Amino acid sequence: MDSMIVDTLLHSRWIIPVEPESVTYDYHSLVINKGLIIDLLPTAQAKQKYQASHTEELLDHALLPGLINCHTHAAMSLMRGIADDLPLMEWLQHHIWPLEKQWMNAEFVKDGSDLAIAEMILGGTTCFNDMYFFPEVTAQQAIQAGIRIKVGLVVIDFPTAWAQTGAEYIEKCLALHEKLRLSELCSTAFAPHAPYSVSDAAFKEIKNWSEQLELPIHIHLHETLHEVESAVAHNGITPLQRLQDMGLVNASLIAVHMTQLSDAEIEQLAKAGAHIVHCPESNLKLASGFSPVAQCLEAGINVALGTDGAASNNDLDMFGEMRTAALLGKAVSGDATAISATVALQMATINGAKALGLDEVCGSLRIGKAADVIAIDLSYLETQPLYCPVSQIVYAASRQQVSDVWVAGQRLLKQRQLMTIDKAALLVKVAKWQERLASLA
């Protein structure tokens, strides 16, 4: 029987598909054609059944679905390291917002997004969920680089360089959604900043458009105790209850941070089918609190992972987030079995895809899904000896061990070399921004 001709064959020591759960395949191959995974089978069989235009022998590597960073402010990477070690509101009001007022424009967003995208590709992230101004620019840079993006249709109650009024924000959001709705790599979500920065009128309009266009709503929520206490003092109810009263707590809600949650609120979120994005390292750095992740997962809530922006993290390293989420989950719950390595990996892959409504496209290495794949070299001394690849990846491996990245079958990283971004030119642009921003920092 003649061999089938395909685009790419990846022969690997291990394949960790994430779906089915807790499965690792030894000496298996991934078959990619026209951007999709069309087979996953033992390598000996793959070599008989298929011939490829491009073949990779990854004999020290594990193949995984690309990591999904479910909460970013990509362009803010240009403010990495500015005003560190401050509380959230002081950091925002006295440092970040003044810098944005002075410098934030389309060029800032373009160069900052490129920096973030390059960092994420190098770290094995193949899809990110962004919230920032000039989202059309971030979307364009993501498409150009070949990475998958859920771009936020941002809404906030005060004027910025991107929009001046609530009506203008909504108008621009709808226009961008229409422009991107047929894109293979870029989809959209409404991204109202937070309950304390968005009015009821804007929320109600967002709800109507979200239902009409079937778009999720990505929002900072219950990030700090101060946020919740201030809302109760001013409105008599928590931010979550306010959203509930407007009909916004449902399966379209992507609630980021959620460090302040009662048992009743966890039950409410689970019943509604809402999603939570846990940002453990940003929450720790800003002393925002501890999200009860183990309890949320136990209640049946889908919990994904995000880094937040590099200005408050200070990196976009999903390997770090997996490890921190697992360790912190054990400490907060008082249970060493909480947030296992397997669960942490699910939070960084398939759970993220579910939160973004992309689980039929990415998040696992399943036949018929897009070939969003990363290769991790586990031959490093730091990951030896190796007894369990998943545990080693979550607890010992670093993002520098990501050797290769593909999105929809396109290779974005080849043996640690970026294929779609000019690293040298990017560093020149970043250096110029450093000079500008340092004058006000």
Angle at 403 between CA 346 and CA 432, to 5 degrees: 100
- Model confidence at 438: pLDDT above 90: no
Question: What range does the domain containing 294 cover?
Answer: 67-355
Cα R_g (the chain), whole angstroms: 21
DSSP class of residue 191 equals E
Residues 223 and 162 placed together within one structural domain of the fold: yes
Mean pLDDT of the chain: 97
- Tokens encoding 137: 């620019």
Same domain (yes/no): 41, 73: no
Identify whether residues 43 and 136 lie together within a single domain. Answer: no
The residue behind tokens 């397997």 is 342
Q: What does the pLDDT look like over 270-300, one tens digit per residue? A: 999 999 999 999 999 999 999 999 999 999 9
Residue 176 pLDDT class (50, 70, 90 cuts) = very high
Query: For residue 231, what pLDDT is reported?
Result: 97
Q: Is residue 279 part of a domain?
A: yes
| Shared domain check, 261 and 381 | no
Q: Indicate whether 177 and 307 sit together in one domain.
A: yes
pLDDT bin (cut points 50, 70, 90) of residue 8 is very high
Structural tokens at position 237: 């109810």
The answer to whether residues 278 and 221 touch, using CB atoms and an 8 Å cutoff, is: no
231 shares its domain with 256: yes
User: Structure tokens of 412?
Assistant: 């974005």
- Residue 425 forms part of a structural domain: no
Instruction: Evaluate whether 50 touches 333 at the Cβ level (below 8 Å).
Output: no
* Residue 47 lies inside a defined structural domain of this protein: yes
> DSSP string spanning 183-245?
-SSEEEEEEE--GGGS-HHHHHHHHHHHHHHT--EEEEES--HHHHHHHHHHHSS-HHHHHHH
pLDDT of residue 214: 97
- Comparing 90 with 177, the larger pLDDT belongs to 177
pLDDT in tens, 71-128: 999 999 999 999 899 888 888 888 888 888 889 999 999 999 999 999 999 999 999 9
Place of tokens 């995000």: 306
pLDDT band at 387 (very low <50, low <70, confident <90, very high): very high
Domain contains 341? yes
For residues 155 and 239, membership in a common domain is answered with: yes
Provide the b/e sequence for 246-261 (b: ≥16 CB within 10 Å). Answer: eebbbebbbbbbbbbb
In a domain, 414, yes or no: no
Based on the fold, state whether residues 41 and 142 are members of the same structural domain. Answer: no
Terminal alpha carbon distance of the chain: 67
Per-residue pLDDT, 441 = 54
What does the pLDDT average to over 242-252? 98
pLDDT per position as a tens digit, 138-173: 999 999 999 999 999 999 999 999 999 989 999 999
Is residue 183 domain-shared with residue 271, that is, in the same domain? yes
CATH number for the domain including 43? 2.30.40.10
Q: Is residue 439 part of a domain?
A: no
Q: Is 417 part of any domain? A: no
At residue 303, the pLDDT reads 98
Question: Are 164 and 134 in the same domain?
Answer: yes
What pLDDT score was predicted for residue 1?
A: 60
- The whole-number pLDDT of residue 87 equals 84
Query: Is the domain of 165 the same as that of 259?
Result: yes
Q: What is the CATH number of the domain that holds 348?
A: 3.20.20.140
Residue 430 counted as domain residue: no
Domain co-membership, 247 together with 156: yes
Q: Which two tokens stand for residue 77?
A: 């990477």
The total number of structural domains in the chain stands at: 2
Q: Is the pLDDT of residue 361 over 80?
A: yes
Q: Is the peptide bond before 20 cis (omega within 30 degrees of 0)?
A: yes
Percent above pLDDT 90 for the chain: 93
- Give residue 128's pLDDT: 99
Is the CB of residue 95 less than 8 Å from the CB of residue 83? yes
The pLDDT assigned to 440 comes to 61
